[in-house]
Amino acid sequence: MSFPNFPFKEIAKAITSFGYPGDLTPADIAKPTAGKMMLIHKWFLLYFSSITQEDLCNTVMDQLNHIHHPKAQRRTKLLKEQLERAHAGIHRKRQGAKERYKKAVERHKAVLEAQVEHTKGMEQQLKLKAHLAAQIENSVEDYVCGLKKGQAVYENIHTEVFNFATKHQAALNAMEAKLNLSPENLLVDMSSPLSLASYDLSQYLS
């Protein structure tokens, strides 16, 4: 594509009078390249017609959006399919992550509940142990108290028996001393009533 060689003085004067983009120089206007010609045509359209910058952009983009090229369409279709597969994969991964997170939350909740139950069980065991220890301590105290009471009763009975035996022995000794019994005098046939009746006890009873 060839572009006309604009007269340098006229174009430069017009652009200088109306203003032009900073990327256009007098040398570009004198001998414009293809890229610079696009800028020059754009400058003429903007300053010598009712076309605006927005109209230019919309027109260019509309043409670009309606390009029908088989290779580009196939490439676009492949890109769309790849995007759909990528979105589907991302969705599956997100769903899988949600399920794993949900299961992890449930497991964590179950672990917390088990810990709470374990703590409650340990507290109940500690309370039961404390109760049993208190009962054992009370039983030991009752047993020791019973032993002390039994020992006191035993010692009391032992003292009473000892006192009774002592008094009984003293009475026997006093009776023997008063009767002055001797072994010869006691040789009486106790099995015979006559002998017992004929035995004179008056001498011992005076």
180: left (phi over 0), alpha (psi -120 to 50) or beta: left
- Measured CA to CA, the distance from residue 113 to residue 68 in angstroms comes to 64
- 205 pLDDT higher than 50: no
Where do the domains of the chain lie? Answer: 8-67
pLDDT band at 85 (very low <50, low <70, confident <90, very high): confident
Query: Mean pLDDT lowest for which of 9-18, 144-153, 166-175?
Result: 9-18
Q: Which pLDDT tens digit goes with each residue over 99-135?
A: 999 999 999 999 999 999 999 989 999 999 999 999 9
Reduced to 3 states (helix: H, G, I; strand: E, B; else coil), residue 15 is helix
Is-above-0.75 flag for pTM? no
Give pLDDT tens digits for 35-63. Answer: 777 777 777 666 666 666 676 666 655 55
Cα dihedral 12/16/18/21 (nearest 10): 90
Name the band, by pLDDT with cuts 50, 70 and 90, for residue 193. very low
Cβ atoms of residues 28 and 38 within 8 Å: no
CA distances 107 to 21, 56, 111, 114, 115, Å, are 67, 61, 6, 10, 12
**Length of the chain, please?**
206
